[in-house]
Amino acid sequence: MDIEQNEKRKKMILDFVKEPEYKPMKLKELAFILQVADEDRGVLRKILNELVDSGQLDVDSKGRYMLAERGVYQGTFIGNAKGFGFVEIEGEKDDVFIPESAVNGAMHNDTVLVKVEKEKQGDRRREGVIKKIIARGMEEIVGTFKKSGNYGFVVSDISKFNRDIYIPAEKTKNAVDGHKVVVKLHSYGEKDKNPEGEVIEILGHANDPGVDIISIVRALGIPDEYPKSVMKQVESVPDEVESSKIGGRLDLRDEMMVTIDGEDAKDLDDAIHLKRTEKGYELGVHIADVSEYVTEGSPLDKEALKRGTSVYLVDRVIPMLPHALSNGICSLNQGVDRLALSCIMQIDSKGKVYDHKIAETVVKIDRRMTYTAVNAIITDHDEATMKEYEEFVPMFELMKEVSELLRDRRMKRGSIDFDFPESKILLDEKGVPYDIKPYERNAATKLIEDFMLMANETIAENYFWLEMPFVYRTHESPDAEKIAKLSTMIANFGYFIKDGGDELHPKEFQKLLGKIEGTPEEALISRLTLRSMKQAKYTTECTGHFGLAARYYCHFTSPIRRYPDLQIHRIIKEHIHGKMNDKRINHYEKILNDVANSSSKNERRADEAEREVDKLKKVQYMTMHIGEEFTGTISSITSWGMYVELPNTVEGMISVNSLIGDYFYYDEESYKMIGKDSHREFNLGQTVIVKCENADMETRTIDFVLVEGEEENNG
């Protein structure tokens, strides 16, 4: 059924049911009054069921349809280990709190109907009750098998799925205590009865190398193997560019061109050429033409859309595309012909792009460079490195010049540049972390960022004005409530943000980050500021990017590892070849919303996997440092305790119950922990000395205790 026609029919039925004289009717009566032919009653029943499932209609025990009661919404239930939960409603910024007594059998990720019973008051969320479970969100669970008599049970790795799963003896697949397993759920249990399932796969023992990480990957539903149909298609992909593919392309093989990536990178999807011109500079950003090999609707394409993005974990990469493409024919490897989609920009002496050309090209990379080597040239002027890459040094120095021009222009308009240290977790051959080091951007990484940002903006603006269906990367302005909360927090450090309400400009954040640069509280306030912002996402509407202070922005530069980039490459190529007719425009208008939403969802899933793996490895690292003392910074304060971050980015909690000698309470207005009798205060950003008391691999939590006598208030 045509989606647009289906929506029109839904609206017609709702309008009819909303009329004051309407009385509840059965399907047969509705069909008669709406003049629905007998052969179309199945369609009517389907539409009515969809309206019931979405919470817009109710149906009583006699099969009569009526308008649903007000305050009922469809959403996704997010569970909590303590039994309560929240319902996220699409299109609404605030979720609905569900007390444990009102969960009514809902489990993490279920699609539910929720009735709001208490509206929002101050900082208190809306509160509701689950009225109906429309669809179960999790059919398979990854967890740890525990044997009990002649049966077993599985404890989910996702704490939000807070019920153990009963496994009958004949369905254990001979799993033993400590095995990480995948369970298929057969029932979701009742109030006094656990969910039941069967073990369908044993991933390995929890202590086996790599099993901890693959368990997280599988628990989040990230595909880690390719279907046979995909691998069969890969077999037909050539190892080298065929001469028949080169004809009609702009030949740039004589341009001096380099890739600049990390030492370990194997999927090289962007290359740069740069030269001086009479009016300024010519910057070429050349991106692997992945769409030439991943055709729309093919098994490869469907799998890439399903994955949405490559997932970069501490010990592995789960690629969006198989290695034969991502590391082979689609990777811009040194010294071989490769197909590319290029954005060649003419830039004036002030860093403004005054002209550009988008073309299908053939390129040959002269040198595969690393961030380390380029930084050694442009920052350290290291003689040995400069001699090794002697013929490229003038271009790298020109790159630094243009990069600074572009960044300066971006900063002037208000672009926000978060530059707090990230961590690199080093593992031994068994996957055990032996060190955690800060990983900071250098001049070479920033240089590539500047060039990629410029290409992405140029492409987005070009296609916005062409008024074609497109996928943009957008970032909304932050909510006023979160900004008010941030303002209160940073006021403790003597900083403030000029709140212009709906007109808040990103320059205000930029000014704040400028003021804290080099201060002890820089990392903390940078993270607090980042948390106050909304998540960027993919949309079909070009609403701008708040963080970059950009009116037009998209993701064009990484089609090997991001599906939206691959999708817009197809649109660009069809436009270049004059094939963007009404039929193709209608096609893209129908599919792009789903592509954008799916890509945003998969990006969040990949981010969660990365966070969970990092958290797990940091906990594992701290198991080897129980009893040791560390100096850290209070990064967050809640009613149940204080979180302390160490210089290596490990974070643990000091429970409020462990603060001896007084009754401590959390002051919500000032975000402080205060002693009732002693009036001792603990503030955000305060330096404290802590001892690692416990590190729990199952819950992925680290417990610190305060070393008494070291809690002076220096926040």
CATH topology of domain 72-135: OB fold (Dihydrolipoamide Acetyltransferase, E2P) (2.40.50)
With a cut of 70, say whether residue 319 has pLDDT above it: yes
Across 300-311, average pLDDT:
97
Q: Which pLDDT score is estimated for 709? A: 46
With a cut of 70, say whether residue 536 has pLDDT above it: yes
Q: Are strands 126-135 and 57-59 parallel, antiparallel or unpaired?
A: unpaired
Classify residue 518 by its DSSP letter: T
Architecture of 140-208 per CATH? Beta Barrel (2.40)
Residue pair 495/515 in contact (Cβ under 8 Å)? The answer is: yes
Residue 193 pLDDT class (50, 70, 90 cuts):
confident
Query: Which range (59-73, 100-114, 145-159) has the least confidence?
Result: 59-73
Q: How far is CA 52 from the centre of its chain?
A: 32
pLDDT tens figures, 573-592? 999 999 999 999 999 999 99
Q: Which pLDDT score is estimated for 362? A: 97
With a cut of 80, say whether residue 131 has pLDDT above it: yes
d(CA 67, CA 104): 23
Distances (CA, A) of 591 to 194, 470, 596, 619: 40, 10, 9, 42
The CATH number for 3-67, chosen from 1.10.860, 3.10.20, 1.10.10, 1.10.12, is 1.10.10
Identify the bridge partners of residue 114 per DSSP, sorted by sequence position.
73, 130
With a cut of 50, say whether residue 710 has pLDDT above it: no
Please identify, in words, the CATH class of the domain defined by 626-706.
mainly beta
Residue 713 pLDDT class (50, 70, 90 cuts):
very low
Domain positions in the chain: 3-67, 72-135, 140-208, 228-476+539-611, 480-533, 626-706
Distances (CA, A) of 296 to 213, 230, 588: 32, 13, 12
Residue pair 618/433 in contact (Cβ under 8 Å)? The answer is: yes
Residue 420 pLDDT class (50, 70, 90 cuts):
low
pLDDT tens figures, 13-56? 888 888 888 888 888 888 888 888 888 888 888 888 888 877 77
Among the ranges 14-28, 35-49, 112-126, 204-218, which has the highest mean pLDDT value? 204-218
d(CA 218, CA 221): 5
Q: Do domains 3-67 and 140-208 have the same CATH topology?
A: no
Q: Which pLDDT score is estimated for 3? A: 62
Q: Which pLDDT score is estimated for 529? A: 87
Classify residue 65 by its DSSP letter: E
Identify the bridge partners of residue 475 per DSSP, sorted by sequence position.
545
Identify the bridge partners of residue 706 per DSSP, sorted by sequence position.
690
Residue pair 229/299 in contact (Cβ under 8 Å)? The answer is: yes
Residue pair 584/573 in contact (Cβ under 8 Å)? The answer is: no
CA atoms within 13 A on the CB side of 157: 30
Among 563, 532, 274, residue whose Cα is nearest residue 416: 532
Residue 666 pLDDT class (50, 70, 90 cuts):
confident
pLDDT tens figures, 255-274? 999 999 988 888 899 999 99
What does the mean pLDDT of the chain come to? 90
Across 446-462, average pLDDT:
96
Q: Which pLDDT score is estimated for 299? A: 96
Query: Which range (381-395, 440-454, 696-710) has the least confidence?
Result: 696-710
Across 95-109, average pLDDT:
90
d(CA 202, CA 182): 6
Q: Which pLDDT score is estimated for 643? A: 94
Specify the higher pLDDT residue, 488 or 433.
Answer: 433
Q: How far is CA 418 from the centre of its chain?
A: 17
d(CA 343, CA 452): 10
Percentage, residues of the chain above pLDDT 90: 59
Residue 168 tokens, joined: 């009958």
